[in-house]
Structure 1
Amino acid sequence: MASAFERHGLDHLSASSINLFVAQPAMWAMQKLMGRRSMVGPAAHRGTAIEAGVEMGLFDPAAPVEACQEAAVGRFNQLTAFSADPAVEKERANIAPAVAIALAELRQYGIPEAADGNRQHRIEVQLPGVPVPFIGWLDFWFPEHGIIVDLKTQARLSSKISDPHARQGAIYHAAHGNAEIRFAYVTPQKMGVYRLEDPRTHLDRVVNIAQSIERFLSLSDDGAALTRSLSPDFDSFYWNDPAARAAAEEIWGQSLEAAPQA
């Protein structure tokens, strides 16, 4: 018999998927069960751009920091070329200093190992009690040290690994059981690198969330009905994207205005 995931056309899970289900189940259902996607904002593009610049500098240790910064800003400009969001200029200014800070720290680890045809390593792991695998991508894998580093960009530096990131790290640890998982948080001013402690506990939570999703999906084979059974939190920043709010208006039949910015 097909699992509830398979009946809804879901052949895998990911850290971002289960974290979205925890934070905003209505948006998770809208995306996964109804195929309605939302766009990310300049802050997410800033993260992608910084990672591109840091990746360039780690895989090519001879590359000048300035060239890595230029590549990162260029990537950001590509991603935001048609954006009218007023936050674009602010986020662009945060990129170069963050790239420099991250490279100063992470170049100490050496050159990451590249995967075949891709600098990032794809992972796929089957967890007991979950009928579909988890799939993800490792930012930087240093096998000679037995360390996996995931880069996160922030406006304000975290003092510890967040629960959603800990769940992501636990999945990576399950795929590479002997590896130490570290999260490198970088801001335009400073950086903190934290080791994931007790991944087993966080992995138990991952399985619990996945099984909650499965129980939810098993309630009906009608994805639209399941989606409409949930109530969105439109005050959350997750719903700031106009496309997401327009989709919500269609699904839940509410007339919505963009949420005011803090």
Structure 2
Amino acid sequence: MKSFTRHSPSSLNLFAASPALFVLEKIMGHRQPGNAPMYRGTAVEDGVTHGLMNPAASPDECNDVAFKKYDTISALSSDKRREEYRATIPAMVQLALEELRPYGIPTDCQKFVEWRPKGLVYPIVGYLDYHWSDHNITIDLKTSEKMPSAVKVAHARQISLYVTSNNADARACYVTPKKHTTYQIENVDAHRNALHQMALRCEAFLALSEDPEFFKSITIPDLDSFYWAGPARELAFQHWKI
């Protein structure tokens, strides 16, 4: 597939979870619009990053950074939850800073990571959130409505990529509007190997044809899945006639 140039943990997780949506987004180019939870996650991360890089920054200052980001990226959104999610940003920024400021000022923020394991045509790439070289700790910030009882497998795969070159202590920091906690990623090598295996199968899939219509003919959307809510549902009818 000539238009395909690289893998990411999110695209590989999508390929595993919903091949038809992978076809729709990555092969046919119909990217789904953002939503309030996504916008909030991006905004909270901006506010937290400002607070980590500037230890003396006040809560209001960090919140202003987050609000500015949220309002900018959600300006054209029709998501009815927009104001509801905006209201939870200050609490999440402050909870995340409570959790992460004790580590000190990060050495790296949003650092590009590229991995080229044997057998792959395309690299697997991503951007780690925070790395502290003095502790050799890498942490990815995740925002959520509910606190998970353990690291989600998709997140563990993602974070395993970020410590490929430095064998850092990999962790996931989860923040909800009311809680925060950090989980250590166990079995990092196994999660990274899973990412490699997913990429190998993704490339075998992509090698089947250069024709997007072919991939439509061998996949089918699961309309009961949350992946096919909103605009994607209309596209399922348009392209798969279901």
Give the shorter-chain TM-score range: over 0.9
State how far apart, in whole Å, the 2-side matches of 1:235 and 1:241 are: 12
Gap runs ≥5 in structure 2:
none
Maintained 8 Å contact 2:114/2:125: yes
Amino acid at match of 2:117: L
Correspondent of 2:213 among 224, 229, 236:
224
Q: 1:136 aligns with which of 118, 121, 126?
A: 126
Tell whether 2:115 aligns with 1:120.
no
The 1-side partners of 2:203 and 2:32 are apart by 23
- Give me the whole-angstrom Cα distance separating, in 1, the residues matched to 2:216 and 2:157: 24
Q: Which among 20, 37, 44 is matched to residue 43 of structure 1?
A: 37
SS in structure 1 opposite 2:157? helix
Aligned pairs for 1:176-195 (under 5 A) are 176-195=165-184
- What percentage of residue pairs aligned between the two structures are identical? 38
Which of 6, 10, 16 matches 2:10?
16
Query: Cα offset for 1:62?
Result: 1.2
Secondary structure of 2:163's partner?
helix
Q: Does 1:165 align with 2:155?
A: yes
- Give distance in 1, aligned partners of 2:56 and 2:2: 48
Partner of 2:203: 214
The answer as to 2:68 corresponding to 1:74 is yes
Q: Does structure 2 conserve the Cα–Cα contact (< 8 Å) formed by 1:228 and 1:251? A: no
How far apart are 1:228 and its partner, in Å?
Answer: 3.2
What TM-score results when the alignment is normalised by the length of structure 1? Answer: 0.88
**Aligned residue for 1:107?**
101
Question: In the alignment, is the contact (CA less than 8 A) between 2:157 and 2:195 conserved in 1?
Answer: yes
Residue identity in the other structure for 2:152: S
Cα distance, 1:132 vs structure 2: 1.3
Moved over 4 A (4+): none
Deviations for 1:72-126, whole angstroms, at most 9, x for unmatched residues?
A: 1222122222223221122112111010110011010111124xxxx42111111
1:33 touches 1:224 (CA, 8 Å); kept in 2? no
Contact 2:111–2:129 under 8 Å retained in 1: yes
TM-score by length of 2: 0.94
Q: What is the deviation of 1:215?
A: 2.0
Q: Counterpart of 1:258?
A: none
Cα contact 1:173–1:179 (8 A) shared by 2? yes
Letter in 2 for 1:245: R
Question: Would you say the 8 A contact 2:143–2:175 is kept in 1?
Answer: yes
Q: Matches of 1:228 and 1:60 in 2, distance apart?
A: 52
Matched, 1:237 2:242: no
- CA distance in 2 between counterparts of 1:107 and 1:179 reads 18
Number of matched residues? 242
The residue type paired with residue 37 of structure 2 is A
Aligned equivalent of 2:191, options 183, 198, 202: 202
Structure 1 position 152, deviation (Å): 0.2
| Corresponding residue number in structure 1 for 2:85 | 91
CA–CA distance in 2 between the matches of 1:161 and 1:70?
30
